[in-house]
Structure 1
Amino acid sequence: MSHDHLTVVTSARWLADDLRAAGTIGIDQILGLDAPVLDGRTALWCSGAWALRLLKAGVQHPFLSAGPDWLTRVPAEFLRRDVWAGTIGRMPYRGEGKMFYKLAEHKHGDIPAGLYLTEDTFQRHVRNVFATADHVDELHFVGSAPMRYTREYRCFIAHGTVTAASFYLATLPGVNDSTATITWDAYNGEQAPDASRAAAFAQDVVDAMGADQPPGYTLDVGEDADGDWSVIEANAAWSSNIYHAPAAGVIDSVLASQEPGNNRWGWTPDALFFNRTQPLGGVR
Protein backbone atom coordinates (compact mmCIF):
# COMPACT_ATOMS: atom_id res chain seq x y z
CA MET A 1 0.00 0.00 0.00
CA SER A 2 1.41 3.38 -0.97
CA HIS A 3 1.02 6.58 1.03
CA ASP A 4 -1.29 9.28 -0.28
CA HIS A 5 -1.14 11.61 2.72
CA LEU A 6 1.54 13.07 5.00
CA THR A 7 0.81 14.25 8.53
CA VAL A 8 3.40 16.68 9.91
CA VAL A 9 3.61 16.55 13.70
CA THR A 10 5.03 19.88 14.80
CA SER A 11 4.19 23.30 16.15
CA ALA A 12 6.29 24.86 13.36
CA ARG A 13 3.71 25.89 10.79
CA TRP A 14 6.38 26.82 8.23
CA LEU A 15 7.48 23.21 7.91
CA ALA A 16 4.08 21.95 6.87
CA ASP A 17 3.61 24.99 4.62
CA ASP A 18 6.94 24.36 2.86
CA LEU A 19 6.10 20.71 2.23
CA ARG A 20 2.56 21.51 1.14
CA ALA A 21 3.93 23.92 -1.47
CA ALA A 22 5.34 20.96 -3.42
CA GLY A 23 1.78 20.02 -4.38
CA THR A 24 2.62 16.32 -4.67
CA ILE A 25 0.62 14.88 -1.76
CA GLY A 26 -2.05 15.87 0.75
CA ILE A 27 -0.49 17.34 3.89
CA ASP A 28 -1.92 18.31 7.25
CA GLN A 29 -0.30 19.55 10.44
CA ILE A 30 -1.07 18.42 13.99
CA LEU A 31 0.45 19.14 17.38
CA GLY A 32 0.41 15.45 18.26
CA LEU A 33 -1.14 15.72 21.72
CA ASP A 34 -2.94 12.44 21.04
CA ALA A 35 -2.18 9.55 18.74
CA PRO A 36 -3.60 10.06 15.23
CA VAL A 37 -5.71 7.45 13.51
CA LEU A 38 -3.48 5.79 10.90
CA ASP A 39 -5.01 3.83 8.04
CA GLY A 40 -1.86 2.56 6.36
CA ARG A 41 -1.98 5.28 3.71
CA THR A 42 -0.77 8.13 5.94
CA ALA A 43 2.94 8.78 6.43
CA LEU A 44 4.35 10.87 9.25
CA TRP A 45 6.99 13.52 9.73
CA CYS A 46 7.69 13.79 13.45
CA SER A 47 10.41 13.91 16.06
CA GLY A 48 12.03 10.74 17.30
CA ALA A 49 10.67 11.44 20.79
CA TRP A 50 7.11 11.66 19.45
CA ALA A 51 7.57 8.48 17.40
CA LEU A 52 8.61 6.72 20.62
CA ARG A 53 5.41 7.87 22.33
CA LEU A 54 3.34 6.62 19.39
CA LEU A 55 4.96 3.18 19.49
CA LYS A 56 4.67 3.06 23.29
CA ALA A 57 0.93 3.63 22.88
CA GLY A 58 0.79 0.39 20.92
CA VAL A 59 0.35 1.95 17.48
CA GLN A 60 2.19 0.01 14.79
CA HIS A 61 3.91 2.13 12.16
CA PRO A 62 6.81 1.20 9.83
CA PHE A 63 9.41 3.77 10.88
CA LEU A 64 12.64 2.85 9.07
CA SER A 65 16.22 3.67 10.04
CA ALA A 66 19.70 2.85 8.80
CA GLY A 67 20.44 1.53 12.29
CA PRO A 68 23.08 2.22 14.94
CA ASP A 69 26.09 0.72 13.15
CA TRP A 70 25.35 1.45 9.48
CA LEU A 71 28.01 4.16 9.27
CA THR A 72 30.73 1.60 10.07
CA ARG A 73 29.86 -0.24 6.85
CA VAL A 74 30.34 2.79 4.60
CA PRO A 75 33.57 2.35 2.57
CA ALA A 76 36.58 4.11 4.12
CA GLU A 77 37.06 6.34 1.07
CA PHE A 78 33.77 8.08 1.90
CA LEU A 79 34.48 8.44 5.62
CA ARG A 80 38.09 9.69 5.62
CA ARG A 81 38.38 8.78 9.32
CA ASP A 82 37.99 5.84 11.69
CA VAL A 83 34.38 5.17 12.70
CA TRP A 84 33.17 2.59 15.20
CA ALA A 85 29.93 1.71 16.96
CA GLY A 86 28.70 -0.44 19.82
CA THR A 87 27.02 -0.26 23.19
CA ILE A 88 27.91 1.79 26.25
CA GLY A 89 28.75 -1.32 28.25
CA ARG A 90 31.36 -2.48 25.74
CA MET A 91 33.18 0.59 24.52
CA PRO A 92 36.59 -0.21 22.98
CA TYR A 93 39.75 1.63 23.98
CA ARG A 94 40.70 4.05 21.21
CA GLY A 95 43.91 5.51 22.58
CA GLU A 96 44.64 8.95 23.98
CA GLY A 97 43.24 12.16 22.55
CA LYS A 98 39.75 13.52 22.10
CA MET A 99 37.32 11.54 19.98
CA PHE A 100 33.80 12.28 18.76
CA TYR A 101 30.98 10.37 20.47
CA LYS A 102 27.19 10.45 20.26
CA LEU A 103 24.21 8.29 21.08
CA ALA A 104 23.38 6.41 17.90
CA GLU A 105 19.59 6.27 17.82
CA HIS A 106 18.43 8.99 20.20
CA LYS A 107 19.02 12.58 21.25
CA HIS A 108 19.28 13.66 24.89
CA GLY A 109 19.88 17.21 26.02
CA ASP A 110 22.35 16.17 28.73
CA ILE A 111 24.39 13.96 26.38
CA PRO A 112 25.45 16.20 23.50
CA ALA A 113 27.25 14.82 20.48
CA GLY A 114 30.80 16.10 20.51
CA LEU A 115 34.41 15.59 21.50
CA TYR A 116 35.18 13.67 24.69
CA LEU A 117 38.62 13.18 26.23
CA THR A 118 38.40 9.37 26.20
CA GLU A 119 35.81 6.68 25.63
CA ASP A 120 35.73 6.27 29.42
CA THR A 121 34.79 9.94 29.78
CA PHE A 122 31.78 9.48 27.51
CA GLN A 123 30.84 6.19 29.14
CA ARG A 124 30.94 7.63 32.66
CA HIS A 125 28.97 10.69 31.56
CA VAL A 126 26.18 8.57 30.06
CA ARG A 127 26.06 6.37 33.16
CA ASN A 128 25.90 9.42 35.43
CA VAL A 129 23.03 10.94 33.46
CA PHE A 130 21.03 7.70 33.75
CA ALA A 131 22.30 6.75 37.20
CA THR A 132 19.20 4.84 38.33
CA ALA A 133 17.90 3.60 34.98
CA ASP A 134 17.95 0.07 33.64
CA HIS A 135 19.54 -0.83 30.29
CA VAL A 136 22.13 1.98 30.34
CA ASP A 137 24.89 -0.31 29.12
CA GLU A 138 22.70 -1.42 26.20
CA LEU A 139 22.49 2.10 24.73
CA HIS A 140 24.02 2.30 21.27
CA PHE A 141 26.72 4.82 20.46
CA VAL A 142 28.76 5.91 17.45
CA GLY A 143 32.35 7.11 17.79
CA SER A 144 34.80 8.56 15.30
CA ALA A 145 38.05 10.40 14.92
CA PRO A 146 37.40 14.17 14.91
CA MET A 147 36.82 16.05 11.68
CA ARG A 148 36.70 19.74 10.85
CA TYR A 149 34.18 20.73 8.22
CA THR A 150 33.82 24.11 6.59
CA ARG A 151 30.35 23.34 5.24
CA GLU A 152 27.78 20.67 6.01
CA TYR A 153 24.79 19.54 3.98
CA ARG A 154 21.79 17.25 4.34
CA CYS A 155 20.86 14.94 1.47
CA PHE A 156 17.53 13.12 1.23
CA ILE A 157 17.54 9.68 -0.38
CA ALA A 158 14.72 7.58 -1.82
CA HIS A 159 15.23 4.19 -3.46
CA GLY A 160 18.91 4.69 -4.23
CA THR A 161 18.63 8.26 -5.52
CA VAL A 162 19.45 11.57 -3.86
CA THR A 163 16.16 13.42 -4.27
CA ALA A 164 16.92 16.68 -2.42
CA ALA A 165 19.79 18.42 -0.63
CA SER A 166 20.37 21.53 1.45
CA PHE A 167 23.18 23.42 3.13
CA TYR A 168 22.74 23.63 6.91
CA LEU A 169 25.99 24.75 8.58
CA ALA A 170 29.22 26.60 7.82
CA THR A 171 32.11 26.83 10.28
CA LEU A 172 34.47 29.75 9.77
CA PRO A 173 37.77 30.62 11.48
CA GLY A 174 37.52 33.32 14.12
CA VAL A 175 40.05 35.07 16.32
CA ASN A 176 42.39 33.34 18.78
CA ASP A 177 41.67 29.88 17.36
CA SER A 178 37.92 30.35 17.81
CA THR A 179 35.30 29.57 15.18
CA ALA A 180 32.11 31.21 14.00
CA THR A 181 29.12 29.38 12.56
CA ILE A 182 26.51 30.30 9.99
CA THR A 183 23.35 28.21 9.98
CA TRP A 184 20.87 27.49 7.20
CA ASP A 185 18.32 30.02 8.45
CA ALA A 186 20.71 32.91 7.77
CA TYR A 187 19.63 32.53 4.12
CA ASN A 188 16.38 32.35 2.26
CA GLY A 189 16.00 29.37 -0.02
CA GLU A 190 17.26 31.09 -3.15
CA GLN A 191 20.36 32.53 -1.47
CA ALA A 192 21.50 29.41 0.37
CA PRO A 193 24.84 27.91 -0.70
CA ASP A 194 24.53 25.56 -3.64
CA ALA A 195 24.17 21.92 -2.59
CA SER A 196 24.78 20.24 -5.96
CA ARG A 197 28.30 19.04 -5.14
CA ALA A 198 27.09 17.63 -1.84
CA ALA A 199 24.30 15.80 -3.65
CA ALA A 200 26.74 14.38 -6.20
CA PHE A 201 29.04 13.09 -3.46
CA ALA A 202 26.11 11.60 -1.56
CA GLN A 203 24.97 9.84 -4.73
CA ASP A 204 28.40 8.22 -5.00
CA VAL A 205 27.97 6.93 -1.45
CA VAL A 206 24.47 5.65 -2.17
CA ASP A 207 25.69 3.87 -5.30
CA ALA A 208 28.51 2.24 -3.34
CA MET A 209 26.16 0.96 -0.61
CA GLY A 210 23.94 -0.90 -3.08
CA ALA A 211 21.34 -2.98 -1.25
CA ASP A 212 22.83 -2.16 2.16
CA GLN A 213 20.64 0.88 2.83
CA PRO A 214 17.01 1.55 3.75
CA PRO A 215 14.53 2.70 1.09
CA GLY A 216 14.49 6.22 2.52
CA TYR A 217 16.89 8.07 4.83
CA THR A 218 19.13 11.13 4.97
CA LEU A 219 22.88 11.49 4.66
CA ASP A 220 24.70 14.42 6.21
CA VAL A 221 27.92 15.13 4.32
CA GLY A 222 30.64 17.71 4.80
CA GLU A 223 33.44 19.47 2.97
CA ASP A 224 36.70 20.28 4.76
CA ALA A 225 39.15 23.13 4.21
CA ASP A 226 41.02 21.10 1.57
CA GLY A 227 37.88 20.55 -0.48
CA ASP A 228 37.58 16.88 0.47
CA TRP A 229 34.16 15.39 1.15
CA SER A 230 33.08 12.77 3.68
CA VAL A 231 29.97 11.30 5.26
CA ILE A 232 29.07 12.77 8.65
CA GLU A 233 26.12 10.59 9.63
CA ALA A 234 22.86 9.00 8.50
CA ASN A 235 19.46 9.89 9.94
CA ALA A 236 15.85 8.84 9.61
CA ALA A 237 14.16 10.91 6.90
CA TRP A 238 10.86 10.90 8.80
CA SER A 239 12.41 13.02 11.58
CA SER A 240 15.04 15.04 9.71
CA ASN A 241 14.94 18.83 9.50
CA ILE A 242 14.38 19.74 5.85
CA TYR A 243 16.28 23.07 5.93
CA HIS A 244 16.06 24.53 2.40
CA ALA A 245 15.88 21.19 0.57
CA PRO A 246 13.37 21.11 -2.33
CA ALA A 247 10.10 19.91 -0.84
CA ALA A 248 9.12 17.38 -3.51
CA GLY A 249 12.35 15.44 -3.08
CA VAL A 250 12.07 15.61 0.69
CA ILE A 251 8.58 14.13 0.53
CA ASP A 252 9.79 11.27 -1.69
CA SER A 253 12.42 10.39 0.92
CA VAL A 254 10.06 10.75 3.89
CA LEU A 255 7.51 8.45 2.25
CA ALA A 256 10.20 5.91 1.35
CA SER A 257 11.40 5.92 4.97
CA GLN A 258 8.06 4.42 6.04
CA GLU A 259 7.41 1.79 3.41
CA PRO A 260 5.98 -1.41 4.89
CA GLY A 261 7.65 -4.74 4.26
CA ASN A 262 11.18 -3.60 5.09
CA ASN A 263 11.61 -5.29 8.45
CA ARG A 264 15.40 -5.36 8.12
CA TRP A 265 15.41 -1.57 8.41
CA GLY A 266 12.74 -1.21 11.07
CA TRP A 267 13.64 1.37 13.70
CA THR A 268 14.34 -0.30 17.05
CA PRO A 269 14.52 2.23 19.89
CA ASP A 270 16.94 1.51 22.70
CA ALA A 271 15.18 -0.14 25.65
CA LEU A 272 16.13 2.60 28.12
CA PHE A 273 14.42 5.32 26.10
CA PHE A 274 11.42 3.15 25.24
CA ASN A 275 10.83 2.21 28.88
CA ARG A 276 11.07 5.82 30.07
CA THR A 277 8.68 7.16 27.43
CA GLN A 278 5.09 8.10 28.24
CA PRO A 279 2.60 6.80 25.65
CA LEU A 280 0.39 9.11 23.65
CA GLY A 281 -3.23 9.23 24.66
CA GLY A 282 -6.32 8.94 22.52
CA VAL A 283 -5.58 5.48 21.10
CA ARG A 284 -8.76 3.77 19.98
Structure 2
Amino acid sequence: MNTRTLFLSPRVTATGHALADAARRRGMRVEVLRDWRVPVESRGAAGASLYAGPLFADAVAGELGLGLVEAPPDWLTRLPYELTYRDVEFTTLAEARQLRRPAFVKPPNDKSFPARIYPDGSRLPGPDAVDDDIAVLVSDIVTFAVEYRLFVLDGEVRTGSRYLTDGQLDVVPLTEDPLRDEVLDFAGRVTVDHGLPSAIVVDIGRLTDGNWAVVEANAAWASGHYACDPDATLDVVLQAARPAQEFTAPDHPFLRPLPTVIRD
Protein backbone atom coordinates (compact mmCIF):
# COMPACT_ATOMS: atom_id res chain seq x y z
CA MET A 1 0.00 0.00 0.00
CA ASN A 2 1.33 3.44 -0.96
CA THR A 3 1.74 5.49 2.21
CA ARG A 4 1.60 8.89 0.54
CA THR A 5 -1.39 11.21 0.91
CA LEU A 6 -2.45 13.85 -1.61
CA PHE A 7 -4.22 16.74 0.10
CA LEU A 8 -6.59 18.96 -1.89
CA SER A 9 -8.13 22.32 -1.07
CA PRO A 10 -11.90 22.65 -0.43
CA ARG A 11 -12.28 23.99 -3.98
CA VAL A 12 -11.55 20.84 -5.96
CA THR A 13 -10.99 21.67 -9.64
CA ALA A 14 -10.95 19.48 -12.72
CA THR A 15 -7.20 19.12 -12.26
CA GLY A 16 -7.72 18.21 -8.60
CA HIS A 17 -10.16 15.47 -9.62
CA ALA A 18 -7.74 14.17 -12.27
CA LEU A 19 -4.84 14.10 -9.81
CA ALA A 20 -7.00 12.43 -7.17
CA ASP A 21 -7.94 9.67 -9.62
CA ALA A 22 -4.28 9.20 -10.59
CA ALA A 23 -3.25 9.07 -6.93
CA ARG A 24 -5.88 6.47 -6.06
CA ARG A 25 -4.73 4.29 -8.96
CA ARG A 26 -1.34 4.19 -7.20
CA GLY A 27 -2.92 3.23 -3.90
CA MET A 28 -2.38 6.68 -2.38
CA ARG A 29 -4.79 8.26 0.07
CA VAL A 30 -6.60 11.41 -1.07
CA GLU A 31 -7.93 13.86 1.49
CA VAL A 32 -9.93 17.02 0.78
CA LEU A 33 -9.32 19.64 3.47
CA ARG A 34 -12.69 21.12 4.39
CA ASP A 35 -11.49 24.50 5.61
CA TRP A 36 -8.33 26.59 5.84
CA ARG A 37 -6.72 24.51 8.56
CA VAL A 38 -5.39 21.00 8.84
CA PRO A 39 -7.13 18.55 11.18
CA VAL A 40 -4.94 17.64 14.12
CA GLU A 41 -4.75 14.00 13.04
CA SER A 42 -3.37 15.01 9.62
CA ARG A 43 -0.69 17.45 10.77
CA GLY A 44 2.78 16.35 9.78
CA ALA A 45 1.33 13.39 7.86
CA ALA A 46 4.05 11.09 6.58
CA GLY A 47 4.49 11.32 2.83
CA ALA A 48 2.11 14.25 2.39
CA SER A 49 1.73 16.21 -0.83
CA LEU A 50 -0.59 19.06 -1.82
CA TYR A 51 -2.41 20.44 -4.81
CA ALA A 52 -3.90 23.86 -4.09
CA GLY A 53 -3.78 27.56 -4.91
CA PRO A 54 -1.03 29.73 -3.40
CA LEU A 55 -3.13 31.34 -0.66
CA PHE A 56 -4.50 28.02 0.57
CA ALA A 57 -1.08 26.42 0.30
CA ASP A 58 0.39 29.18 2.47
CA ALA A 59 -2.28 28.47 5.09
CA VAL A 60 -1.79 24.70 5.35
CA ALA A 61 1.64 23.68 4.04
CA GLY A 62 3.42 24.37 7.32
CA GLU A 63 1.03 22.23 9.34
CA LEU A 64 1.42 19.46 6.79
CA GLY A 65 5.20 19.68 7.12
CA LEU A 66 5.56 20.42 3.42
CA GLY A 67 8.07 22.28 1.32
CA LEU A 68 6.82 23.85 -1.90
CA VAL A 69 9.16 24.70 -4.76
CA GLU A 70 8.54 27.40 -7.34
CA ALA A 71 10.53 29.50 -9.78
CA PRO A 72 12.27 32.59 -8.39
CA PRO A 73 9.94 35.60 -8.70
CA ASP A 74 12.40 37.37 -11.00
CA TRP A 75 13.10 34.29 -13.13
CA LEU A 76 11.80 35.79 -16.37
CA THR A 77 14.11 38.78 -16.02
CA ARG A 78 17.14 36.46 -15.82
CA LEU A 79 16.48 34.80 -19.17
CA PRO A 80 18.32 35.95 -22.28
CA TYR A 81 16.33 38.02 -24.75
CA GLU A 82 16.28 35.18 -27.29
CA LEU A 83 14.13 33.15 -24.88
CA THR A 84 11.61 35.91 -24.10
CA TYR A 85 11.66 38.34 -27.04
CA ARG A 86 10.58 41.13 -24.71
CA ASP A 87 11.98 43.22 -21.89
CA VAL A 88 10.75 42.18 -18.44
CA GLU A 89 11.34 44.19 -15.26
CA PHE A 90 11.05 42.95 -11.67
CA THR A 91 9.83 45.76 -9.45
CA THR A 92 7.25 46.73 -6.85
CA LEU A 93 3.60 47.55 -7.41
CA ALA A 94 4.25 51.09 -6.14
CA GLU A 95 6.86 51.59 -8.87
CA ALA A 96 4.64 49.98 -11.51
CA ARG A 97 1.89 52.49 -10.69
CA GLN A 98 4.21 55.18 -12.12
CA LEU A 99 4.07 53.62 -15.61
CA ARG A 100 2.87 55.96 -18.34
CA ARG A 101 2.69 53.36 -21.09
CA PRO A 102 0.82 50.12 -21.71
CA ALA A 103 2.44 47.04 -20.21
CA PHE A 104 1.62 43.51 -19.13
CA VAL A 105 1.78 43.42 -15.34
CA LYS A 106 1.47 40.38 -13.09
CA PRO A 107 2.39 39.15 -9.63
CA PRO A 108 5.12 36.52 -10.11
CA ASN A 109 3.90 33.67 -7.90
CA ASP A 110 0.40 34.45 -6.67
CA LYS A 111 -2.89 35.97 -7.80
CA SER A 112 -3.10 39.09 -5.63
CA PHE A 113 -4.42 41.02 -8.64
CA PRO A 114 -5.31 40.15 -12.25
CA ALA A 115 -2.39 39.53 -14.64
CA ARG A 116 -3.17 41.44 -17.83
CA ILE A 117 -2.31 44.39 -20.05
CA TYR A 118 -2.79 47.70 -18.22
CA PRO A 119 -3.04 50.92 -20.31
CA ASP A 120 -0.83 52.64 -17.72
CA GLY A 121 0.11 52.39 -14.08
CA SER A 122 -2.90 54.38 -12.90
CA ARG A 123 -5.12 51.41 -13.81
CA LEU A 124 -3.35 49.04 -11.42
CA PRO A 125 -4.98 48.24 -8.06
CA GLY A 126 -4.48 51.04 -5.53
CA PRO A 127 -2.78 50.78 -2.13
CA ASP A 128 -6.19 50.35 -0.50
CA ALA A 129 -6.53 47.04 -2.37
CA VAL A 130 -2.96 45.70 -2.73
CA ASP A 131 0.14 46.63 -0.72
CA ASP A 132 2.70 48.94 -2.35
CA ASP A 133 5.64 46.63 -1.73
CA ILE A 134 4.43 43.44 -3.39
CA ALA A 135 6.67 42.25 -6.22
CA VAL A 136 5.45 42.48 -9.81
CA LEU A 137 6.73 41.69 -13.27
CA VAL A 138 6.33 44.44 -15.86
CA SER A 139 6.63 43.17 -19.41
CA ASP A 140 6.62 44.60 -22.90
CA ILE A 141 3.51 43.57 -24.79
CA VAL A 142 3.88 40.68 -27.23
CA THR A 143 1.27 38.57 -28.98
CA PHE A 144 1.37 34.78 -28.81
CA ALA A 145 -0.24 32.85 -31.65
CA VAL A 146 -0.29 29.61 -29.65
CA GLU A 147 0.64 28.69 -26.05
CA TYR A 148 1.60 25.46 -24.30
CA ARG A 149 1.82 24.20 -20.73
CA LEU A 150 4.67 21.85 -19.87
CA PHE A 151 5.14 19.88 -16.64
CA VAL A 152 8.88 19.51 -16.18
CA LEU A 153 10.70 17.07 -13.88
CA ASP A 154 14.49 17.19 -13.50
CA GLY A 155 14.77 19.26 -16.68
CA GLU A 156 12.66 16.87 -18.78
CA VAL A 157 9.19 17.60 -20.13
CA ARG A 158 7.07 14.81 -18.67
CA THR A 159 3.78 15.91 -20.25
CA GLY A 160 2.39 18.91 -22.08
CA SER A 161 -0.73 20.49 -23.51
CA ARG A 162 -1.65 23.24 -25.91
CA TYR A 163 -4.05 25.58 -24.12
CA LEU A 164 -4.50 28.76 -26.19
CA THR A 165 -4.63 29.60 -29.89
CA ASP A 166 -4.97 33.27 -30.85
CA GLY A 167 -5.93 34.03 -27.27
CA GLN A 168 -8.79 31.53 -27.20
CA LEU A 169 -8.94 28.36 -25.15
CA ASP A 170 -7.84 25.48 -27.39
CA VAL A 171 -6.91 22.43 -25.34
CA VAL A 172 -5.09 19.57 -27.08
CA PRO A 173 -2.53 17.07 -25.71
CA LEU A 174 0.99 17.90 -26.83
CA THR A 175 1.27 14.40 -28.29
CA GLU A 176 -1.44 15.32 -30.82
CA ASP A 177 -0.15 18.80 -31.69
CA PRO A 178 1.56 19.34 -35.07
CA LEU A 179 4.15 21.63 -33.44
CA ARG A 180 5.15 19.05 -30.82
CA ASP A 181 8.76 18.70 -31.99
CA GLU A 182 9.26 22.47 -32.08
CA VAL A 183 7.76 22.78 -28.60
CA LEU A 184 10.09 20.15 -27.16
CA ASP A 185 13.12 21.60 -28.95
CA PHE A 186 12.50 25.07 -27.53
CA ALA A 187 11.62 23.66 -24.09
CA GLY A 188 15.00 21.93 -24.00
CA ARG A 189 16.69 25.31 -24.43
CA VAL A 190 14.66 26.77 -21.56
CA THR A 191 14.79 24.05 -18.91
CA VAL A 192 18.52 23.31 -18.99
CA ASP A 193 20.76 25.55 -16.86
CA HIS A 194 18.27 28.38 -16.48
CA GLY A 195 17.68 28.33 -12.74
CA LEU A 196 14.59 26.23 -12.17
CA PRO A 197 13.66 23.78 -9.40
CA SER A 198 13.51 20.04 -10.04
CA ALA A 199 9.73 20.16 -10.52
CA ILE A 200 8.06 23.08 -12.24
CA VAL A 201 5.55 24.12 -14.90
CA VAL A 202 6.82 26.18 -17.82
CA ASP A 203 4.48 27.90 -20.26
CA ILE A 204 5.89 28.69 -23.69
CA GLY A 205 4.44 29.84 -26.97
CA ARG A 206 5.06 30.84 -30.54
CA LEU A 207 4.73 34.55 -31.21
CA THR A 208 2.85 35.90 -34.20
CA ASP A 209 6.24 36.67 -35.82
CA GLY A 210 7.17 32.97 -35.63
CA ASN A 211 9.68 33.17 -32.78
CA TRP A 212 9.33 30.91 -29.75
CA ALA A 213 9.30 32.55 -26.33
CA VAL A 214 8.74 31.77 -22.67
CA VAL A 215 5.38 32.91 -21.31
CA GLU A 216 6.08 32.26 -17.62
CA ALA A 217 6.91 29.59 -15.04
CA ASN A 218 4.34 28.36 -12.53
CA ALA A 219 4.37 26.17 -9.43
CA ALA A 220 3.39 22.61 -10.36
CA TRP A 221 1.41 22.24 -7.11
CA ALA A 222 -0.95 25.05 -8.19
CA SER A 223 -1.16 24.69 -11.99
CA GLY A 224 -4.03 23.41 -14.09
CA HIS A 225 -3.19 20.44 -16.27
CA TYR A 226 -5.40 21.20 -19.31
CA ALA A 227 -4.89 18.09 -21.51
CA CYS A 228 -1.66 16.94 -19.88
CA ASP A 229 -1.42 13.29 -18.86
CA PRO A 230 -2.71 13.13 -15.25
CA ASP A 231 -0.24 10.45 -14.15
CA ALA A 232 2.77 12.36 -15.45
CA THR A 233 1.34 15.57 -13.99
CA LEU A 234 1.05 13.85 -10.62
CA ASP A 235 4.72 12.81 -10.80
CA VAL A 236 5.69 16.47 -11.05
CA VAL A 237 3.28 17.63 -8.34
CA LEU A 238 4.56 14.99 -5.90
CA GLN A 239 8.11 16.24 -6.45
CA ALA A 240 7.13 19.90 -6.13
CA ALA A 241 5.12 19.58 -2.89
CA ARG A 242 6.51 17.05 -0.43
CA PRO A 243 7.84 16.78 3.13
CA ALA A 244 10.30 19.61 3.63
CA GLN A 245 13.09 17.31 4.82
CA GLU A 246 13.03 15.40 1.52
CA PHE A 247 14.31 18.34 -0.52
CA THR A 248 18.00 18.20 -1.33
CA ALA A 249 20.35 21.17 -1.52
CA PRO A 250 19.79 22.02 -5.21
CA ASP A 251 16.10 22.69 -4.53
CA HIS A 252 16.55 24.68 -1.31
CA PRO A 253 16.82 28.09 -3.07
CA PHE A 254 13.45 27.46 -4.72
CA LEU A 255 11.43 26.68 -1.58
CA ARG A 256 8.50 29.05 -1.18
CA PRO A 257 8.76 31.13 2.01
CA LEU A 258 5.77 30.08 4.10
CA PRO A 259 4.12 32.58 6.43
CA THR A 260 3.65 31.92 10.10
CA VAL A 261 0.01 30.95 10.59
CA ILE A 262 -1.45 31.88 13.98
CA ARG A 263 -4.38 29.72 15.01
CA ASP A 264 -6.95 30.59 17.68
Identity %: 24
Aligned 8 A contact 1:10 1:29 in 2:
no
Per-residue displacement from partner, 1:143-200 (whole Å, max 9, x unpaired)? 110111121111111111111111111226xxxxxxxx2343xx6x699745623233
Matched, 1:43 2:49: yes
Instruction: Please list every run of 5 or more consecutive structure 1 residues that lacks an aligned counterpart in the other structure.
Output: 131-135, 173-180
Task: Supply the distance in 2 between the matched residues of 1:193 and 1:264 (Cα, whole angstroms).
Answer: 35
Q: Of the candidates 67, 80, 83, which is equivalent to residue 78 of structure 1?
A: 83
1:247/1:90 CA distance change after superposition, 3 Å:
same
Q: Of the candidates 231, 250, 254, which is equivalent to residue 237 of structure 2?
A: 254
For 1:15, the equivalent position in structure 2 comes to 15
1:164/1:58 CA distance change after superposition, 3 Å:
same
Aligned length: 250
* Structure 1 residue 4, shift from structure 2 partner: 3.6
Task: Supply the distance in 1 between the matched residues of 2:189 and 2:26 (Cα, whole angstroms).
Answer: 27
Aligned 8 A contact 1:46 1:239 in 2:
yes
Matched, 1:107 2:118: no
Task: Supply the distance in 1 between the matched residues of 2:219 and 2:210 (Cα, whole angstroms).
Answer: 27
Task: Supply the distance in 2 between the matched residues of 1:165 and 1:190 (Cα, whole angstroms).
Answer: 5
Q: Which of the pair has the greater relative contact order for Cα pairs under 8 Å at 6+ separation?
A: 1
Per-residue displacement from partner, 1:69-110 (whole Å, max 9, x unpaired)? 11111222110111111222444977x5311101122213xx
Name the amino acid aligned to 2:108: A
Name the amino acid aligned to 1:182: L
For 1:200, the equivalent position in structure 2 comes to 185
Aligned-CA RMSD value? 3.2
Aligned 8 A contact 1:152 1:223 in 2:
yes
Aligned 8 A contact 2:174 2:228 in 1:
no
* Structure 1 residue 248, shift from structure 2 partner: 2.3
Aligned 8 A contact 1:101 1:122 in 2:
no
1:25/1:235 CA distance change after superposition, 3 Å:
farther
1:129/1:142 CA distance change after superposition, 3 Å:
same
Q: Of the candidates 247, 261, 266, which is equivalent to residue 255 of structure 2?
A: 266
Matched, 1:160 2:155: yes
For 1:182, the equivalent position in structure 2 comes to 169
Aligned 8 A contact 1:165 1:199 in 2:
no
For 1:215, the equivalent position in structure 2 comes to 198
* Structure 1 residue 3, shift from structure 2 partner: 8.1
Q: Of the candidates 205, 224, 229, which is equivalent to residue 241 of structure 1?
A: 224
For 1:117, the equivalent position in structure 2 comes to 119
Instruction: Please list every run of 5 or more consecutive structure 2 residues that lacks an aligned counterpart in the other structure.
Output: none
Name the amino acid aligned to 2:60: L
TM-score w.r.t. the length of structure 1 is: 0.75
Task: Supply the distance in 2 between the matched residues of 1:100 and 1:3 (Cα, whole angstroms).
Answer: 44
